[in-house]
Amino acid sequence: GEDVEQSLFLSVREGDSSVINCTYTDSSSTYLYWYKQEPGAGLQLLTYIFSNMDMKQDQRLTVLLNKKDKHLSLRIADTQTGDSAIYFCADGYNKLIFGAGTRLAVHP
């Protein structure tokens, strides 16, 4: 069945780059997504990439897609304390399948 896997935890120093990785199984997805969830808050769409693209850049965010390996990554440049949150990778055609989330901790 459809599955999305992510590493559970990432700790980075403020100002460094963060890279969050994700692997997925559903090759029929038209888009792949990154969502952010802060404590007590709802899910916020950060960015998405069309499945025929390799890379998408949006300000401090860079998404890389390797369709052959079914691997998606999110790079956050110049990570700030406000970036501390849980990041979810999601894919799917009619419905989104989410990973378990990567908790990003940013320390001074």
Partner 1 sequence: DTGVSQDPRHKITKRGQNVTFRCDPISEHNRLYWYRQTLGQGPEFLTYFQNEAQLEKSRLLSDRFSAERPKGSFSTLEIQRTEQGDSAMYLCASIPGQGTEAFFGQGTRLTVV
98 binds partner 1 per the rule CB under 8 A: yes
Identify which range of 12-20, 55-63, 71-79, 99-107 contacts partner 1 by CB under 8 A.
99-107
Site string for partner 1, 35-74 (x = CB under 8 A): ------xxxxx--x--------------------------
Number of residues that bind partner 1 (CB under 8 A): 20
4 makes contact with partner 1 (CB under 8 A): yes
DSSP classification of residue 94 = S
Residue 20 near residue 105 (C-beta atoms within 8 A): no
Check: CB of residue 77 under 8 Å from CB of residue 23: no
- Alpha carbon of 87 to those of 8, 46, 68: distances in Å? 9, 9, 23
